[in-house]
Amino acid sequence: MKTKSGQLFKILLIALPIVLVCVPILRVVVADTDIVYPTPLTQSAFLKNYSPASTIARFRIEGSGAQESGPAGSSAGRGCAFHHKEFQSLFVIATGNETAVMADMEREIKSNLARESARIVAETGRAPERFQFDYVAGRGKGTVAVDPIVIVDHKLVDPSELPLGEVAVELRVRITEAWYKASEKACSKL
């Protein structure tokens, strides 16, 4: 009996540290298999292709200054990937066209979402005020939000004086999207 219990004790002395080391390693390996890294495959066609450039071109006064910045980023998640894209556009339009620009933005975004096979599931606000669309596209869900057009100092856009009847404006569009490997419930940020 003494030898069997002694052997069992030696086996436990060897096995216990191995198990204690392997369990955390196994947890890390299993957790890493659930991480979804952002790639073009985890972006909707709308996110990849959308730009407010066509609306801006219809209203922008030719020959005046214009600027556009578009920061974007993505991050990995557990069971999902996250993407965001922003457009900040500064340009000159005819005074009084602010409402028309916002209405055109609303129509253009709805049209682009439909063309890219995204389905609008919720709408908040209306042009010319802030508006946003929540949409579903394949295995992803997203939101596109447009802030009200803002009149800005013309020197931000064009250093020369603007003629009477022209105004410098800023337009902001933000898109956020999450792509799900399996389900929204299985998704979390890292």
Give the DSSP per-residue string, 26-42.
HHHHHHHHTEE---GGG
Instruction: Clarify whether residues 99 and 55 are in a common domain.
Output: yes
- Rg over alpha carbons for the chain, rounded to the nearest Å, is 27
The helix (H) or strand (E) run that includes residue 20 is helix 2-33
Instruction: Clarify whether residues 28 and 59 are in a common domain.
Output: no
Instruction: Clarify whether residues 25 and 56 are in a common domain.
Output: no
CA distance 71 to 14: 55
The pLDDT, as a whole number, for residue 24 is 67
CA distance 30 to 83: 24
Instruction: Clarify whether residues 78 and 108 are in a common domain.
Output: yes
Burial class of residue 54 in the structure, from the number of CB atoms within 10 Å of its CB (0-12 exposed, 13-18 middle, 19+ buried):
exposed
Instruction: Clarify whether residues 20 and 106 are in a common domain.
Output: no
pLDDT in tens, the chain (190 residues): 556 777 777 776 776 777 667 566 656 545 556 899 999 999 999 999 999 999 999 999 988 878 888 889 999 999 999 999 999 999 999 999 999 999 999 999 999 999 999 999 999 999 999 999 999 999 999 999 999 999 999 888 888 888 999 999 999 999 999 999 988 888 888 8
Domain range for 14 is 2-33
Which pTM was predicted?
0.81
The pLDDT, as a whole number, for residue 11 is 74
The helix (H) or strand (E) run that includes residue 108 is helix 98-115
133, two tokens: 């669309």
Instruction: Clarify whether residues 87 and 113 are in a common domain.
Output: yes
Instruction: Clarify whether residues 15 and 82 are in a common domain.
Output: no
Instruction: Clarify whether residues 26 and 116 are in a common domain.
Output: no
Instruction: Clarify whether residues 29 and 46 are in a common domain.
Output: no
Instruction: Clarify whether residues 61 and 114 are in a common domain.
Output: yes
The pLDDT, as a whole number, for residue 3 is 61
C-alpha 169: how far from its chain's center? Answer: 24
Q: Structurally, how many domains does the chain consist of? A: 2
Check: CB of residue 116 under 8 Å from CB of residue 46: yes
Instruction: Clarify whether residues 124 and 103 are in a common domain.
Output: yes
Positions of E strands within 37-165: 66-69, 72-78, 80-94, 119-124, 131-137, 140-146, 150-151
Instruction: Clarify whether residues 76 and 160 are in a common domain.
Output: yes
Check: CB of residue 76 under 8 Å from CB of residue 53: no
